[in-house]
Structure 1
């Protein structure tokens, strides 16, 4: 019961600026409790009508004659709105401001300060088939072949107002009691356990028949009314419910003290086993790691067939895309399994960071998402210790950050938001991945014990409350001072504000004095446009983890700091232990997001070691070196000869992380060359680089993939196979075509698929690309019949690989057609994948330009998806004419891009980065690629099959093999 005190205090002490912005609620009447009653008619003949009543217990902070809250997309029954409390004020008027969805209820007298009131609001409408708010969704039962309906919710960030009238800002926490009326053939679940179920109409007393009888028919005796236990205090965006005909499995009791249930379509229940084990294991570990008990009696996790995000952390009822929760050993790849574990861990971490303690406003979204992203790696590392998730997630997150945050149009981690429409745009790599990277950085410079002790204090202090990043900094500083972990009399706030309130990250320039065993360091902001000079001069507190060749890897020098005022206007000196012929390596453990440029001699010493004995450099150090070398070469801070010479060691690399890092760096070059006559030179260079590794990893054979549990080996085989087919490594496409043909020839292809699970994306794409229309239709038929979401997802992507222009045009049309073969949740990814393909780019560009109004309407309320499409399109630009055409088109279609403003600005800058590189580097880089690949086996021309490959590459008929890349839809 202690949380009842929390909610009372929280509600009475809500503080707002003296002059709040017009889009913010005034804060005069914060809510204590919502009693929400719904009745849903899941019948297409009534257009999925619903009726609801919400009773909101309010506290008057000041004398006011207005109550302002949020409502959107339904009708409020004006004559049914009432208020009860001291002196019984009466409702004088009800008005809705569509601009910010503000529902203003005027009263005939002021509310008395310090007193409680109950506001009653009846509302009714029809559920829509969008992917936010409370929405209706459909799926086909694969066993009965019947169309089924369900109701799901997605309220983050500002869509709870679409579900019911409420105070839809995260700082207004309140408790909830929810009652849902539905047909007895359905079941309903919500945040809390079911308290009671009845056939008595819970809304009878509120039924305004004269107003809505024609819209909503009165529930009959076949209706069931489910009431759920009173919730803990939570923000509106965390409230959730699902009404469906789903079934569930219950996890074993010995894995967690919390009751765990996994829900899914009845014909997908055999795909829930992995989640039913992984979920409770991760939850139990988080209770230990945070040293704070999970506060609810149960945890439901449910797979929704049509869901906008990857998943949503609703307290006690986590909703997922099917691909992020369900796993089938016969149809899902090892990488699918890894993804399921990661997303489950991410959402469960939110139950503490985000749910128990919530940011005050969306400016500090990163406190939720950054922490959940980091904590996911910790939990997966515990649940699946052989995967090395802590290392791989850290590298992936940082590399993503280094790319996006190098744009001048990036944004700070803690970002001011002056318009609710901008909120969706910050669900991006900065909030998630940079946030995670910075939290990992803190654990490394503070130490795990200090960090976890401070986090425990933070969670306990702000439980059921809201917090800002400064609140976290205070707790971390206090504990670090107790332990004496921070030197130079600096606070966590002083360090971290340089990383969270500034955009970008630094590049350190390191110049050694080889006679004195010393070096100097300078810092400045790194930008992707080589000639771009920032008008500002930001600086950072930079943790310096330095490894000298003379030192053992297990006993490097202690961490040092480059202060924010050091290395900016003057050089900072640094002593080290390496001799004149020994290298020095900064950021060898990737402790922080920054790049390092060395003098030429140190680069050569590092390159020599990589080419002779690369394992002497730590894995994360190799990742950092490869990323830095190619990025610095891209911006003309390093000669491409140095970068390519360093990368040549990858022919012997056996660890996935460095190899994938090098290939991702090369993919940037591929992207700007793939539609030019120079693409063949690029392919030839990469063939030499990966050909041997591809063979040693198993190629497209099954022997390494089958029954393999070594994730590093699987990823090596998957990645090298995808690149090998795309780069025309002899035999790769032929092997893929043989496997695809075997599948097509199978008597029962839906049950008997000879293609190894983890290689299917590569093989499918080659098969569809090089096959006839028959191959495309075969893949489409398999997608339509597949009962496993991961299998459908692989086939949906493969269908974008066709070279048939008319098919691509038809496929694009499906993405904006209601009820087509492409579900709403997948439409954005399909458009983006077609844009990336050499043939599809031209078709998709015209489609985007010509059909932007239809695209906008299909994704209405989902600015992130339109923004992602724009980013993907402009990332392909390599000429000024392409960009000029877009800029002219943007002016004419600005209203459709209004919700994607930040993404469009970043897309334009990325296009300029490409154009700048083509102008300055293309000729020189292509010459160097040819130079580095001159030793390739010249017998290629004597093999007819290889000759065909060479000819097709020269002709530009590039197979669009999709690498295994996570869908850029963020786990929220």
Structure 2
């Protein structure tokens, strides 16, 4: 029999990007000669001057040149053919809505001819987190505040630093010249070619055009010129001007010159990165079978940085905590994070930099692949961490939750407004993209997959590609090796996963009946388990008999007979299905009761994650005590077994499973009032404890919107969301958001995706219709602050409504079951003898549904 019960979502068609947002393509750049003079002095308000010479090729005769510019002051442009001015500029203007600069000429540029467009520009470098911006730190030796200039151009902020063709498909080469005070050091994507005094280049600068607006560089300026770059998209250009120092990696780790830059006080925290980076880069060269194309790789820790890191080609910028690691003070989890982020950014040097998506609709080709490849590299660099399993679980749990919302989006998503690009830098593009790539490696095989990726990278090197280009290369190699049957293509399989929202749910009772027809000696106590390696994103529901058999297997002395990832999948499915009323909570809680004896982190994390959904809607209710009692009995033995808080043996060891187990259990133990945990926590972390009463003038929230408070812009969101998640802090934070939204919005300027993340966290706490109605009324009055966060806000509203519906339908029933299972939970393992012939058998089945073909891997005992 076939599986008849599936849930799928209709395809979403790619919408064309409106013409008013896109460059017309009549002229395209081939090379930028970009020169800057920076005055890193607060007394001059960090003034700068620049001039860009853009080499243009005319694809279609036109009397207009359209490119991007945003928040920069423009002097008179010049158009030349060779060294001679060829056309008169009759006017130029910038459309602020679309960030488009239109230059009008007195006559047409001729098709297939080459010209040079020169645009002087100037302004002041601002304190921010995108474009070219000012970052600060305090030198611990001199106690002096120091300034640096750094960049963040992805996705559409190169236009804030210089006039350019700021779409990923307009690749060009770059020659960069940076003028700065001699006390500073400048670095860019390419190696330094030469450094000269101020007089050597002064004649090449059109000072007369801006002499009233910009003071000429001082006599102690130097001019640094960098080697010509390879062809790349504007968002990958980068430079940093600072007083930083660097550590160079040992030459035996990589054929590429590798340097780690940081403020002088943090240089002693670069050792781990200086070995991990070169190891990962060398591994990727072997894995992609393609050499790293640049002569050097710099990685630099920036004090003020919005995201985790940015893959600028040859100059990767990082938030400090994602590059620096202090062996004496940093946690083992910090080390894991550093390794993962480094590997992710280095994977981009091929997938994203060498080959780039044509438009942001296929962002997942960049981010999904880098997320997947990072796991592969970390597995190589740190083989004892089991990064493949950990990543598979984390990715799957994230996307199965987010992608169940109607307001989710496809992996390959239409982007019809550049202002919405930041919204898709989310778990769907990263984690679902990674999961789908992992799924492909499983059904195509590692050899076929890697050969196809190598072909793809070589074919589209220094160029742009679309999703279908990748499918063609994968199909060609698959056919050569006979992996795919008949006329089936990778596109046939994968488009169903990438162009539509959601995932299937399979009901397993028909499958069980079907299998019994073929297994003539099948016993009544044999269980069936689908997706035990978490190969593909789908959920499975079983008939009550099979759920009970699986619970018995988990509560037996030999629960590891159910594979590690199989235990994860069962717990995830059970709690998700119960949350959506597809499964009775008795089944989910019965299944989870085995966790008191679980010794592996990933199943425990998954089970507690399922319980967290219940905690979230009960923690501000009188029923929270019943929930706490159940979890106390569930994890009490594990807490004792892990040694409680701050066990030096584990913290200083290299058993990542134990470290994660202890961190997770300790956090839960204190929240659930496990005896002794809170007392120990207060002694260790007293200064970080929540106050017992709401403070209407909470200083932490006030600091987030106060300039000079010491809270960096990058840390504003974590401060607010952590206060929101506190049962007491929630009320204070909600009032703060509702009454100070204008200040929060200005603080997030240039990073408006963070507004959406803040709202999502707030609405995750909602449990009443009154709270949601209050928010909806507030949203109507403050819509201007949420215009760039529509997707996140819609997801937040949907999640809040799910919480409210759950409370209405399930609260009493679930609380009663929690009390029932609290009484039933015992410290001693339930002894269940499995069938003597219960050896696991793995099977492969291909199912074609109307919308999604599934390659299923299941096992039976």
Q: Specify the TM-score bucket, using the shorter chain as the normaliser.
A: over 0.9
SS in 2 for 1:30: strand
CA distance in 2, matches of 1:59, 1:927: 73
CA distance in 2, matches of 1:325, 1:472: 31
SS in 1 for 2:536: coil
Assess, with a 3 A threshold, how the Cα gap between structure 1 residues 576 and 409 changes in structure 2: closer, same or farther: farther
Moved over 4 A (4+): 17-20, 206-211, 512-516, 574-578, 935-938
How far has the Cα of 1:201 moved from its partner?
Answer: 4.3
User: Are the equivalent residues in 1 in contact too, given 2:311–2:345 (CA < 8 A)?
Assistant: yes
How far has the Cα of 1:330 moved from its partner?
Answer: 1.1
SS in 2 for 1:505: coil
CA distance in 2, matches of 1:369, 1:576: 48
1:620 aligns with one of 550, 561, 565: 565
SS in 2 for 1:165: coil
2:725 is aligned with 1:828: no
User: Are the equivalent residues in 1 in contact too, given 2:181–2:221 (CA < 8 A)?
Assistant: yes
CA distance in 2, matches of 1:82, 1:44: 35
2:642 aligns with one of 690, 697, 717: 697
Assess, with a 3 A threshold, how the Cα gap between structure 1 residues 331 and 576 changes in structure 2: closer, same or farther: farther
Look up the match of 1:889. Answer: 778
SS in 1 for 2:771: helix
1:84 aligns with one of 77, 81, 97: 81
How far has the Cα of 1:88 moved from its partner?
Answer: 1.2
User: Are the equivalent residues in 1 in contact too, given 2:17–2:417 (CA < 8 A)?
Assistant: no
- The within-5 A match list for 1:350-365 is 350-365=348-363
CA distance in 2, matches of 1:859, 1:216: 29
SS in 1 for 2:506: strand
Render the CA deviation track for 1:350-389: whole Å, top value 9, x for unaligned. Answer: 0000000000000000000000000000000000000000
CA distance in 2, matches of 1:20, 1:118: 28
CA distance in 2, matches of 1:691, 1:817: 43
SS in 2 for 1:698: coil
- The within-5 A match list for 1:550-569 is none
CA distance in 1, matches of 2:200, 2:583: 71
User: Are the equivalent residues in 2 in contact too, given 1:803–1:840 (CA < 8 A)?
Assistant: no
SS in 2 for 1:851: helix
SS in 2 for 1:38: strand
Assess, with a 3 A threshold, how the Cα gap between structure 1 residues 596 and 18 changes in structure 2: closer, same or farther: closer
CA distance in 2, matches of 1:61, 1:834: 55
How far has the Cα of 1:91 moved from its partner?
Answer: 1.2
2:551 aligns with one of 590, 607, 613: 607
Render the CA deviation track for 1:84-129: whole Å, top value 9, x for unaligned. Answer: 3598122111111111110111111111111110000000000010
CA distance in 1, matches of 2:406, 2:513: 39
CA distance in 2, matches of 1:370, 1:305: 27
Look up the match of 2:538. Answer: 594
Look up the match of 2:70. Answer: 72
CA distance in 2, matches of 1:514, 1:369: 38
Assess, with a 3 A threshold, how the Cα gap between structure 1 residues 937 and 476 changes in structure 2: closer, same or farther: closer
Report the TM-score, using the length of structure 2 for normalisation. Answer: 0.92
Report the TM-score, using the length of structure 1 for normalisation. Answer: 0.82
User: Are the equivalent residues in 1 in contact too, given 2:173–2:228 (CA < 8 A)?
Assistant: yes
What runs of 5+ residues in structure 1 fail to find an aligned partner? 1-16, 520-573, 741-763, 768-774, 776-797, 939-972
Assess, with a 3 A threshold, how the Cα gap between structure 1 residues 808 and 668 changes in structure 2: closer, same or farther: farther
User: Are the equivalent residues in 1 in contact too, given 2:79–2:85 (CA < 8 A)?
Assistant: no
CA distance in 1, matches of 2:730, 2:384: 40
CA distance in 2, matches of 1:99, 1:201: 40
1:880 aligns with one of 733, 754, 769: 769
User: Are the equivalent residues in 2 in contact too, given 1:46–1:215 (CA < 8 A)?
Assistant: no
How far has the Cα of 1:577 moved from its partner?
Answer: 8.5
Assess, with a 3 A threshold, how the Cα gap between structure 1 residues 808 and 665 changes in structure 2: closer, same or farther: farther
CA distance in 2, matches of 1:174, 1:377: 31
How far has the Cα of 1:501 moved from its partner?
Answer: 0.2
Render the CA deviation track for 1:632-665: whole Å, top value 9, x for unaligned. Answer: 0001100000000000000010000000000011
Look up the match of 2:610. Answer: 665
Look up the match of 1:779. Answer: none
Assess, with a 3 A threshold, how the Cα gap between structure 1 residues 701 and 205 changes in structure 2: closer, same or farther: closer
Q: What is the root-mean-square deviation in Å for CA atoms of aligned residues?
A: 1.8
CA distance in 2, matches of 1:838, 1:137: 35
Q: Greater shift after overlay, 656-665 or 487-496?
A: 487-496
Render the CA deviation track for 1:500-519: whole Å, top value 9, x for unaligned. Answer: 00001111111147676349
Assess, with a 3 A threshold, how the Cα gap between structure 1 residues 25 and 513 changes in structure 2: closer, same or farther: closer
How far has the Cα of 1:706 moved from its partner?
Answer: 4.1
User: Are the equivalent residues in 2 in contact too, given 1:363–1:417 (CA < 8 A)?
Assistant: yes
CA distance in 2, matches of 1:888, 1:737: 40
1:282 aligns with one of 280, 283, 300: 280
CA distance in 2, matches of 1:18, 1:247: 47
1:157 aligns with one of 155, 158, 172: 155
Aligned length: 811
2:136 aligns with one of 135, 138, 142: 138
How far has the Cα of 1:905 moved from its partner?
Answer: 0.3
How far has the Cα of 1:806 moved from its partner?
Answer: 2.7
Render the CA deviation track for 1:553-599: whole Å, top value 9, x for unaligned. Answer: xxxxxxxxxxxxxxxxxxxxx98995331001000000000000011
What runs of 5+ residues in structure 2 fail to find an aligned partner? 1-14, 828-861
User: Are the equivalent residues in 2 in contact too, given 1:512–1:518 (CA < 8 A)?
Assistant: no
Higher RCO, 1 vs 2 (CA within 8 Å, ≥6 residues apart) = 2
Render the CA deviation track for 1:267-309: whole Å, top value 9, x for unaligned. Answer: 1000000000000000000000000110000000000000011
Q: Greater shift after overlay, 619-628 or 207-216?
A: 207-216
SS in 1 for 2:698: helix
Look up the match of 1:481. Answer: 479
CA distance in 2, matches of 1:587, 1:600: 18
Assess, with a 3 A threshold, how the Cα gap between structure 1 residues 689 and 341 changes in structure 2: closer, same or farther: same
